[in-house]
Amino acid sequence: MENLNGLVLKVDALSIAFGGLKAVDNLSFDIKENEVFGLIGPNGAGKTTAFNCITQFYKPNSGTLLFKGRDEQVHDLQKKKVHEIIKLGLVRTFQNVELIRELSVIDNVLIGAHVDFISTIIDQAFRLPRARREEKALRKEALRILGVLGIEDRALLPAGGQPYGVLKKVEFARALMSNPRLIILDEPAAGLNDSETIELAKLIRKLRDELGCSILLVEHDMRLVMDVCDRICAISFGKFLAVGTPKEIKENRDVQIAYLGIEVEANA
């Protein structure tokens, strides 16, 4: 298999159609290690569809998706099932925060470690030493991650009653729990106010610098994208428009046309 020199993800000629409508059409881009990569486009441009293809929620019609996993091996994502993706080191968050209200914050975070458990159901049913040790170690790790995000004091509270900003962080923590190489953030700024968005930007940089993982940011909020991304890929109607640094994207004529209203505002 191809050696992804310095890349974590290589998307090549990705296409998917729903009943004749091409939602993603021949899209290619790649993400380097330790990079914050933005995927932008107007509403209905196919951003969400594109990353649903990457995470295998949808099976693409054609194209290749290569990913360098936690094990340093290159994997063909299309050969994997949805639930096998996280084990490779590719994890996503959800636009409308998908947590379990009844469970405590820390239990929600522990779900991120689901695939990392070695002890069997029998070990856990009878609380054999192996299961106890493992649960304890992973709990400690979850607390540490919550600490990095500054919400360890809420670990034992039910997720249900927490404010939105905290829930977003819990979802981050859950993603980090899987020790990922690449995190896909689905419109993380949606529903956040200005100061929370600024904090989010800081957090994203912190993740890249301290944990050494790459981030694919799928976002509407132009200020956040322009602020934190190293490179950006712009798409429109499922087609590739341009890729480059935030500055290059801002100045790209095709992108300006596709975006018009939004782009004029961002330039101003």
Partner 1 sequence: MKKLIKNPHLHFIFLGLLLMIVPKLAEMGLFKVSYVTTLGGTFILAIAALGLNILLGFSGLVSLGTAGFMGLAAYLSAYFTVDLGLSFELSLILAVVIPTIVGILVGLVSLKIEGIYLAIATLAVSEILRKTFEEFDFFTGGFSGKTASYPTLLGTYELDRAGMYYFVVAVLIIVMLITYNMMNGRLGRALNAMRGSEAASQAMGVNLLNHRLIAFALATMYASIAGVLYVHFIKYSYPSIWTLKLSLDFLAMIVIGGLRSIYGTLLGAFIVFAVPDLFLKQIPFFSEMSYVLNGVLIILVIIFYPNGLINMFADIKRLFNKLSKGEGK
Partner 2 sequence: MSTFIQVILRSLETGSIYALAALSIIIIFRTSNIVNFSQGAVGMFNTFVVTYLFNTMGINIWLAALGGIVSSILLGIVIDLVIIRHTKKVHPEAKQIITLGMMMIVLGIAPILFGVDPLRLPKMIETGNLSVLGADISYNGLFNIFFGLLVMGGLFFILQKTKIGLAVRSTASNEYTAKLMGVPTKTVTMGAWAVAGALGVISGIMTAPMTSVTLHILDDVQLNALIAVVLGGFQTFYGPVVGAYIIGVGRNLLLFYGSSVWGGQILYILILLFLVFRPHGLFGKKIVKKV
Contacts with partner 2 by CB under 8 A lie at 18, 52, 57-58, 94
Residue 16, strand partner residues: 24
| Residue 57 vs 212, nearer CB to partner 2 | 57
- The site partner of 50 among partner 2, partner 1, none (C-beta below 5 to 8 Å per kind) is none
131 binds, among partner 1, partner 2, none (CB under 5 to 8 A by kind): partner 1
Residues touching partner 1: how many (CB under 8 A)?
A: 35
Minimal distance, residue 210 CB to partner 2, in Å: 29
For partner 2, the closer of residues 48 and 162 by Cβ is 48
* Cβ proximity of 240 and 233 under 8 Å: yes
Q: Which of 94, 70, 46 is nearest to 235 (CA)?
A: 46
Which tokens go with 199? 């904090």
**For residue 75, with 0-12 CB atoms within 10 Å meaning exposed, 13-18 middle and 19 or more buried, which class applies?**
buried
Strand order through the sheet with 21-32: 74-76, 62-68, 7-18, 21-32, 239-244, 231-236, 36-40, 214-218, 182-186, 90-92
Give the residues across from 232 on adjacent strands: 38, 244
**Which of helix, strand or coil describes residue 128?**
coil
Based on the shown chain and the rule CB under 8 A, indicate whether residue 215 belongs to the binding site for partner 1: no
Q: Is the Cβ of residue 17 or residue 211 nearer to partner 2 in the bound state?
A: 17
Tally the residues of the chain: 268
Site for partner 1 in 109-138 (CB under 8 A): 110-112, 114-115, 117, 119, 121, 124-127, 131, 135
Among 6, 18, 62, 83, binds partner 1 (CB under 8 A): 83
Out of 54, 86, 148, 204, the residue judged to bind partner 1 by CB under 8 A: 86
Query: Which residue ranges make up the site for partner 1 (CB under 8 A)?
Result: 55, 57, 81-87, 91-92, 94, 98-103, 107, 110-112, 114-115, 117, 119, 121, 124-127, 131, 135, 174, 178
